[in-house]
Structure 1
Amino acid sequence: MKNVVIRTLGGKGIGYGHFYRCLSLAKAIKRLEKDVNITFIINHELISLISNTEFKFIMSNNLDKDHTIIEKLNISLFIFDSYLGENDYLRKMKEKSKLMLIDDNNDIYDSSIPDIIYNGNIHAGKLRYPDIKGQLKLLGPKYLIMKEEYWDKHNEGTLNKNGILITTGGTDEYKIVLKIIDAIKDLSIKTRIIIGPGYKDNYIKEIENVKTENIELIYKPLSLKEYILSSKIVVTAGGSTVYEILSQKSIPIIFSIANNQDFICKELSDIGIEYLGKHPNIEYHLLDKIIKKIQYDKRYKNDEIFNIVNREGALLVSKILLREI
């Protein structure tokens, strides 16, 4: 049996996007080939999330111990998805196994090191990854790893899209939701706000205290798909959620809260998606006008922006990885 190890980290301080991307890839591999053993190495904060899955895991908060952990596992492929490593770490892992690096912006690691380099973002082709003999590159939204619920179509198009959905991801360290609520308080539009798993209790109370009658709070949902699918507009940070929004033919309004989101936001802004700016300079005051415009704008109905995403990218990547190992 082939053994694959996936190393990632997540939590309230760094978010959960890397973990969910890796989990989706693992599920795609298992869908195509049951006879593959997949083991995660994760930090303590992810235990509660991975415990609800079929996958085995090893808890380690220290990346420096990974090379000794995998020595005992006889692995065929090591997949790494985190911003917290170093080039020496990658080299050590490559000595033990074929190495795949899941990357976003080609700005942290020496991208010549891994055997396989992956970047499913819309801007991946512009990041000047070096041409390395024998290296496999999986670049662009053709290979986008989306969550399992987005791979297949089920009853899509049957719902009447209306209202606004607001999400900042798993956390909201900058209290962006409160500022959005203040900016749209005069709009009498059905609005739903996602309370992420990393929201602190006292912050949730602040949101509850200022919400108006037309605002519904959705507490720590397991999936956003049904809420995205039924919403006409989704206000979101420029991370992986944007691709999920486009796959459901909803209209994103985006902002950036981290450097790794800047490239995505620029690319999407260049093709006409409304961009509010980057924290701490997000232009919340524009929201009222933008939302009103989109409510009456028919150009999005069959817009090409909805064709950016390959919903089966995770399965495509998995097929290629299974061939490689």
Structure 2
Amino acid sequence: MLKAIEKTIVASTVLCAFLSAGAFDVQAEKDRLAMQNYFLTKFSDPLGKSASYFPYVDPEEIKKDYIYPVKLEDFAHGTAAWYRPTKEQLAEINEFPPYEIALDEGKELFYKKFANGKSYSDCFPNPAVRDIYPLFDTTKKEVVTLEVAINECRVKNGENPLKYEQDDIAKIMGYMAFESRGKPLAIKIPTKEAMQAYDDGKKEFYKQRGYFALNCAECHISGSGQRIRAEALSPTLGAVTHFPVYRLKWGAIGTLQRRLQGCIEDTGSLAPKMQSKELRNLEYFLTYMSNGLKIDGPDTRK
């Protein structure tokens, strides 16, 4: 089944090269719709389709713990969309969300004055812009994530950039994500160069890594809905909508790229640096795949 979706999603670069101006997202849209169709089909009837999609899951577990059919919009909730134990656990945790303090601190940081008297609000008059990031900067001809845009704002106003590994940048993003809640992701592919960045991100997604020779798709497409030990594997569709997240393992709020680094390291591979071209393009691809789903961040995860 993974091979089937790879054949549908992994586009021919020759075909993409002949796309006309203003239609650079044609192949990306085919990819996105194929991804949606795959997951809607897979989670429409896990019990009836168990032989094809869930061969290693006990049918009794499906009856007891799986929620289905899953609606398209519900994929924005990640594993909680289809796995009852996760849904119940998150509902209990989020009665007193562990990210609330970080959210308040993020708001304070967002409006805190720089030395020149300005603040992030001068760069982002409306903080609810999570829906358009990461975006492709047609002048720089590269993907700009929200983290990069935040640091560009700082430098523009005479401040030193924040380290991408620090909590502060995730807190600011958490506030901006909160202000963006309910807005559908709307990532654009405006130029040929943007299309190439998307394709490069897609290659990163399907790239085999580490001594396990795994790629992202094996866990989060074909493996989604199954478990590795006690961990339920989340679908690619909706994987980005809830970031940044307060992860219980971290004891702090963190960015999508921090999580991507962890996933890559779990394969036994050395992860690219935060905000490297590889991770920015991978984030661009992943976010485009969830276009149309509503932002649900920040949220809590294990």
TM-score (norm. length: structure 2): 0.25
- Which structure has more relative contact order (CA 8 Å, sep 6+)? It is 2
Determine which structure has more spread, i.e. the larger CA radius of gyration.
Answer: 1
